[in-house]
Amino acid sequence: MIHEKLIRKFASLPLIKIIDILKFIASKPNGVSVLDVETFWEQHVDGRKMTRSFKGETRIIDNTIRNLLNKLVLDECLIREKQGKNYLYFFNNELEQTQLKNGGSDGITDLIRWAITLKKYKGLTFMEELEEMLNISIEDLLAEENKKIQDIRPFIDFETTDEVYSGWGKNVFSDLITNKVAKNMSDFYNVISQKLKTVEFTYRSFQVDEIITVTHAEPYLLKEHNKRWYLIAFDPGKNEVFPFSIDRVIKITDSFDSKKYEIPRDFNPKTYWKDCVGVFKDNLKGPQNVSFELKNGPRYNNQKYLISSPMHASQKAIQLENGWMRFEYFIHIGPEVVRQIRQWGVENLRNIEPKELDEDVRFG
């Protein structure tokens, strides 16, 4: 367990550097020298010697390592003992255990708060990485600090609950599908974060209403939207990037002659969906001018609600006569756009453009 003093006092340093070095020292009960740590840091990434440090860092030299170790000694994370002419550094196990058992610190409280907030993600690979970093499972941490949990108020509340969440949860699917979705998530995460090899899977497509096989898909991203997780991947069969709902992935092929691929440098999630409502893009037509006129219903002020919660960042609102208001957008037209417009009630809508969108909203 990395106690709260690290988080509080060394937040300005690259956290991965501190955690990796501490884990290395903790694995050496006979102590390590400054040279041992420097050698470890230069070679620790995937077993390859590092010729440069992380982006934004200067290359680590002897004095940098020595200064870092001495700061950790002052913070009581390490113990320094002189042996002959040299100093050896030891991990302070006794302090760490005491710190964890005593609790009561802001850092431990923050850690528990985040554990409570993120526990719905249990079973996903990135949570396993977090637990490995902390050297304790989220469940064990919550169990050890059970007395404090009742008094801790979370700062973030997700719209989706633990039981109904993005393709798994007993209130949505069976345990079999719940476990399958979690496994698929982890498998795709491993491909994206480490392997970068194409995958093959069978998929229940709602577009063609049948089960299809997707071959040599190139996973780019895992994306959550509207209580579902999607695999964003380039599909050679479609020759486009496509969102696959992970709860509809039936099976990932185990033995498959995969190929190496690279995620395009210009693929940026912050800009890729800039003109989209939801995760779907019309790569054939691209974004279009969309507009409709909306009036308030007998009970609800539709216009003020839409103004305060825009359907898209491009939204423009224009006041018209007789209580009508015109809303204009520049967006890709997809199922999410149809659903969001339809929610206002067709009796409160008129002049929906383009014409195809009007037909989808009223009759689709």
Dihedral angle sign, alpha carbons of residues 151, 156, 161, 165: negative
User: SS3 of 192, please?
Assistant: helix
Residue 305: what pLDDT?
95
| The pair of three-digit structure tokens given for residue 109, joined into one six-digit string | 């409280």
- Phi/psi for 257 (5° steps) reads -80, 75
- Angle CA 78–16–132, to nearest 5: 85
Distance CA 169, CA 178 (A): 6
Residue 231: what pLDDT?
94
| The pair of three-digit structure tokens given for residue 326, joined into one six-digit string | 């015109």
Report which DSSP code applies to 111.
H
pLDDT, tens digit (0-9, with 9 covering 90-100), for 178-225 = 678 888 888 998 899 888 999 999 999 987 779 999 999 999 999 888
Q: What is the pTM of this model?
A: 0.60
How many C-beta neighbours within 10 Å does residue 279 have?
19
Residue 123: what pLDDT?
64
Distance CA 255, CA 133 (A): 31
| The pair of three-digit structure tokens given for residue 84, joined into one six-digit string | 């002959």
Residue 97: what pLDDT?
47
Q: Which domains does the chain have, with CATH numbers?
A: 4-96 (1.10.10.10), 103-149 (no CATH), 175-266 (2.30.30), 288-363 (3.30.70)
Residue 46: what pLDDT?
40
Candidates 303, 353, 298; CA nearest to 324 is 303
Residue 138: what pLDDT?
73
- State how beta strands 199-205 and 249-252 pair: antiparallel
Residues of the chain short of pLDDT 50, as ranges, are 1-14, 45-62, 96-105, 164-173
Report which DSSP code applies to 334.
-
